[in-house]
Structure 1
Amino acid sequence: MNKLNVDCLKIIFDELETNSLYSCLLVNKEWCNIIVPILWSYSWKDISASKKKFFFNTILSCLPISSKQLLSDNNIKLPSTILLKPPLFNYISFCKSPPTIKELNDIIGMMFENEFNNETKYILEQEIFKLFVDQCKDIKVLWWDNSHPLLSFPGASTCFSQLYITYIDIDFVNSNSLEDMAQICKDLKILVIDKCCQDLPGLISLIDAQRDLEEILFYSYKDRKGTCKELGKALARKVNTIKCLCLESINIIPPSFLTLFTNLKELTISNIEEYDDTSEEIKEIKQYLAILEFPYLQKLKIWLTCYKELAMLILKIKGNIFEIGAGINNKNIKDVGMLIKSIANNCQNIEKLDIYMRHTDFIHIKLLLLNCRNLKLIVVYNVYDDDNNIGDELLDILTKFSPNSLTTIAISGKWKYSFGAFERLFESYRERNSLEFFIIDNIDNAADVTAKFIHITDNHRIIIKRYIIMGVIKLTNIPTLK
């Protein structure tokens, strides 16, 4: 057999699992030279816990002599093997992203058993970030969640010039730093802003500087209020490029600005405040949802109880939508049937649906399943149902009318389901593709992870296990009996 050239090997190795790559490292020098850059290009979340200590040791070995001396002067003792053994590669140069501050702190704690005070830990963090900024020439992702002066480190103008995705925590990044980043970074595609509650000139400059910004996502805190009018104007100046807009608080930008984003493909709006259906903010957003037009929209997630307005919006989308999420756990829920009918009649290509409803709206699910034969996933949340003995009605509708494409079902754990209804559903999938089946909930106490399984008995678990063994159920979150 002729020897494969380097390009072919790279293509093959890119498709392999991480564990396989580690074993391939030892084949020969050529393979090692190809695989090392691939391994170090992975994001930190893709590295197993068992390998992180090895990776961190290697990072420490790449620190320049000046950094190692600074650490020593501050009583940060590195392992002797790191001080003596020079690295075989410039590993850091292969990385596409520095670690997040949480990832870095987790590893520091694991390596040094939390023996540092905050001051010395900050120095260690600083030298590691300096190393990444100096050596990485092609960083694509930046998780900007720390107070280190990243842009003042040597190499910053090169390191951050090719950023594709940036997450910014406003608690740590001030307006001046954002202004400096705007001078370096011009080609962001995705920008995520956390804890933003007021206009920041630096953030506005950063948005204005981008040539082709496609996605922007805003997250916030419950206790932070404020409307960012100037920020809304900056976004409006990018309406020709922004295709995805996510607002976790309805107060971030005035709803009137939404009328400008006619090119959107994805829209998400939620409200992290305590829900008040009669508030002026909710009334205003409902008014705009009723008149908005997004002819190219493909994904729509509105986590508010405005089903009527969503039904009216969907009428104008003309069948292009593939994913919808709607509702919130609110006792004043109404017009669910109107929304589901609008989806069933106008969104035949829909593939994913997340929706909050009462059991009185189950009947509308039948029309949805009959009309939307490309549906792949359905998630149904229970909203304030006093009667929880009606889960079988939903399961029987899914059993009788689900299209062959529907392979992921997630249903509320607040309803009760009989053993027979479980078996009927799973039997209907014996001749179809394997099913992913989940019990989920809008749990009031998020810390109680078992609350969703309150009505799942040992008999339910026995049934689940049997159909897993048969290959009918491919994946589930329901713990089975051993």
Structure 2
Amino acid sequence: MAQLVDDVLLLIFNELRDDISTLHSCILVNTMWCHIAIPLLWKHFSSLFENPYNFEPELRKKLYNVISHFLPNNPGDPLPQYDIQLPLNRITKKLSFEYMSFFTRITTIWIEDMSDFLINNEVEDSKYKKKILEKEIYRLIINRCKNTKYFHWNTKKKLYKYSNAECFFSKLNFFLFNFKINFANSKTLHKLSGICKDITNLEIVDCNEDAPGLVSFIETQKNLQSLSLYFIDNEKVEYNKLKKIIKKKAATLKKFTLQPVTLISPRIVLSLENIQYLTLDNDGDLYERGWRKWTKYLGMASFPHLKYLETAYLPNNIICLIIENSGGHILEIYIRFPLHSDSNNYQSQNKNLILAISNNCPKLINLTMEVGHKNLRKMKGIFSNCMQLEKLFLTTDSNVSPNGDKFLVLMSKMLSTTLKEFSFGDKFNFSLEGLRTFFENWKSENRSPFKFIHHYDDGMVYLWTSDHDIIVGNYKNEGVIR
């Protein structure tokens, strides 16, 4: 019975894992609640501290204070040996938990922040002492963080040389590596390829060379399921080795992210038949070469298992090919910043994209896209065929502010009762009466309340006024809007 209670509490607390204040209250109830909630709370801390600079100094101080208590501090240890005195609130009794074992995610960013935070620049030899402190923190992590699965390597330090490093890194599943910041990047990855062999999710940031070490590291992974490659501006590099290893590993890949798209050969898409999550970002409109080749290879490609598609700075016709060659299982589509190289051709391509979605995505749940001002009525096809649509976020091209009232009428007549959220960007022009009529129609059909969210920048406030806000507020009070 006691075990049953523990298991039930664990399930409940796990649902509260993102609510720090509630979890903190749970640990104060009694010893049993405390022992169940503490690991979840610290696991959440470890994920939050991927970017510690988002948090107030007081919170960082408390976390770093606890970690510091695990650092060796006997007379013969490095910290006292180099006269490194940390500003700690000393805890005299033994800590109740092995907190370091609760860290499931480690990023080298907070380690650097911790050394900067605890050693003031005005301290004598502060730069050297920070290096010593960092070494001790890394040694502590590698020896005591036994449940770490995610590691963000953003340092030049050769961490693979630490004692027990092989045991620590061999247990990782998620690995993010900043290629540019590591002065011996290829060599480091080559060394790690002999240690890390069970990485399922790999993210390489700021890649700027077709490095043998990177290829070796990817090749070593036995069950690589997610690969994200973020290149930096170096159009002269031919990523031939990377292209070959991606093709070789494609059988197990379920998720693939590429940015910028046109810096690597489009031949890789022919091997991505098992992809479920695909993100293609061309990093602004800086890289416009190669779309003819992408059109050619996407025309031959097939994505029968695709469920999630996200694009940025891609032409509409390229996105069309991906959707048309999917297997009808796409659940989420996020199309951001489509290219506008030719305004007349854009309207036609945008119309084709709407048709591609309506004809090939019957299971669609979430849709974010830009709709040309001439094509709003074409959304009727998506409303008719995508009967499971729950979230809709629309923007429109920047040249014209379309009459949104007609679109609201179309929504109220055609859109399925499954809708839970409708968001729209600036440029949509809704009259007060058109907005009121839309909400009245929704209410008269006894449809479920939904979120109604507008995104207007400061330059377009004349399209959305305080009177619009009053109407939305009234219908929110009536329960039409959540």
- Post-superposition offset of 1:83: 7.4
Query: 235, 248, 257: which is aligned to 1:246?
Result: 257
Within-5 A mapping of 1:52-451 = 52-65=60-73, 70-72=78-80, 76-82=84-90, 86-101=94-109, 103-104=110-111, 118-173=127-182, 174-222=185-233, 226-275=237-286, 279-326=288-335, 328-332=338-342, 333=346, 334-385=348-399, 387-430=400-443, 431-440=446-455, 450-451=458-459
**Aligned residue pairs, count:** 463
Q: 1:199 to 1:24 in 2, by over 3 A?
A: same
Residue 453 and residue 143 in structure 1: after superposition, are their counterparts in 2 closer, same or farther (change >3 A)?
Answer: farther
Q: Which of 132-141 and 449-458 deviates more?
A: 449-458
Q: Give how far 1:161 is off.
A: 1.4
Alpha-carbon deviation of 1:3?
8.2
| Distance (Å, rounded) in 2 between the aligned partners of 1:96 and 1:24 | 21
State the secondary structure of the residue aligned to 1:147: coil
Contact preservation (8 Å) 2:149, 2:174? yes
What CA deviation, in whole Å up to 9, does each residue of 1:52-82 have, x standing for no partner?
4322210111111269953455564313533
Give, in whole Å, the separation in 2 of the partners of 1:452 and 1:238: 47
Q: CA 1:83–1:407 in 2, change beyond 3 Å: closer, same or farther?
A: closer
Q: Separation in 1 of the partners of 2:380 and 2:316?
A: 18
- The secondary structure found in structure 2 opposite 1:195 is strand
- Is the Cα contact below 8 Å between 2:174 and 2:199 reproduced in 1? yes
Task: Check whether the contact 1:345–1:371 (CA below 8 A) recurs between aligned residues.
Answer: yes
| 2:436 match: secondary structure | helix
- The CA deviation at 1:383 is 2.1
CA distance in 2 between counterparts of 1:127 and 1:67 reads: 15
In structure 1, what is the equivalent of residue 23 of structure 2? 21
User: Structure 2 counterpart of 1:240, which letter?
Assistant: A
**Scaled by the length of structure 1, what TM-score is found?**
0.85
CA shift for structure 1 position 350: 1.3
In structure 2, runs of 5+ residues without a counterpart are: 50-54
CA distance in 2 between counterparts of 1:121 and 1:390 reads 60
- Residue 480 of structure 1 aligns with which residue? none
Alpha-carbon shift at residue 222 of structure 1 (Å):
4.6
Structure 1 residue 331 displacement after superposition: 4.5
Q: Is the 8 A contact 1:166 1:191 kept in 2?
A: yes
Contact 1:227 1:251 in 2 (8 A): no
Q: Which amino acid aligns with 2:102?
A: F
Establish whether residue 466 from structure 1 lines up as the match of residue 468 from structure 2. Answer: no
Q: Indicate if the aligned counterparts of 1:221 and 1:272 stay in contact, CA closer than 8 A.
A: no
Percentage of identical aligned residues: 28
| Distance (whole Å) between structure 2 residues aligned to residue 78 and residue 20 of structure 1 | 31
Greater shift in the superposed pair: 415-424 or 260-269: 415-424
Q: Is the 8 A contact 1:366 1:397 kept in 2?
A: yes
Shift of 1:25: 2.4
Q: Alpha-carbon deviations, 1:135-191, whole Å to 9, x = none?
A: 112211111122232222222111121212111111223111111221111111111
Q: Distance in 2 between matches of 1:454 and 1:108?
A: 49
Indicate the SS of the match to 1:98: strand
Unaligned 5+ runs, structure 1: 442-448, 475-482
Q: Secondary structure at the match of 1:81?
A: coil
Query: Counterpart of 2:90 in 1: which secondary structure?
Result: helix
- Amino acid of the structure 2 residue aligned with 1:182: S
Q: SS of the residue aligned with 1:65?
A: coil
TM superposition shift of 1:108: 5.8
Decide whether the 8 Å contact of 2:316 with 2:338 is kept in 1.
no
Q: Structure 1's 331 and 391: CA in aligned 2 closer, same or farther, altered over 3 A?
A: farther
Distance in 2, Cα, partners of 1:207 & 1:379: 36
Please state how far the C-alpha of 1:114 moved relative to its aligned partner: 6.7
Report the Cα distance in structure 1 between the residues aligned to 2:245 and 2:274, rounded to whole angstroms: 16
- Which is worse superposed, 281-290 or 134-143? 281-290
Q: Which amino acid aligns with 2:181?
A: F
How far apart, in 1, do the equivalents of 2:233 and 2:224 lie? 27
CA RMSD of aligned residues (A): 3.0
- Counterparts in 2 of 1:18 and 1:456: CA distance versus 1, 3 Å: same
Aligned to 2:245, the other structure's residue is in SS state: helix
Counterparts in 2 of 1:381 and 1:115: CA distance versus 1, 3 Å: farther
Whole-angstrom CA distance in 2 between matches of 1:473 and 1:347: 27
Q: How far off is 1:247 after superposition?
A: 0.8
CA distance in 2 between partners of 1:301 and 1:52 (Å): 34
Read off the aligned partner of 2:26 and give its amino acid letter.
C
> Does the aligned pair in 2 maintain the 1:349–1:372 contact within 8 Å?
yes
Q: Is the 8 A contact 1:414 1:452 kept in 2?
A: yes
1:329·1:384 contact (CA, 8 Å) conserved in 2?
A: no
Give the C-alpha shift of residue 370 in structure 1. Answer: 1.5
SS of the aligned residue for 2:89 comes to helix
Q: C-alpha offsets along residues 330-379 of structure 1, whole Å, 9 cap, x if unaligned?
A: 25224111121122122211112222232101111112111111111222
Q: What is the distance in 2 between the residues matched to 1:452 and 1:72?
A: 61
Aligned to 1:42: 44
**SS of residue in 2 equivalent to 1:360:** coil
- Indicate how the Cα distance of structure 1 residues 274 and 337 shifts in structure 2: closer, same or farther if over 3 A, else same: closer
Give me the whole-angstrom Cα distance separating, in 1, the residues matched to 2:194 and 2:28.
Answer: 44
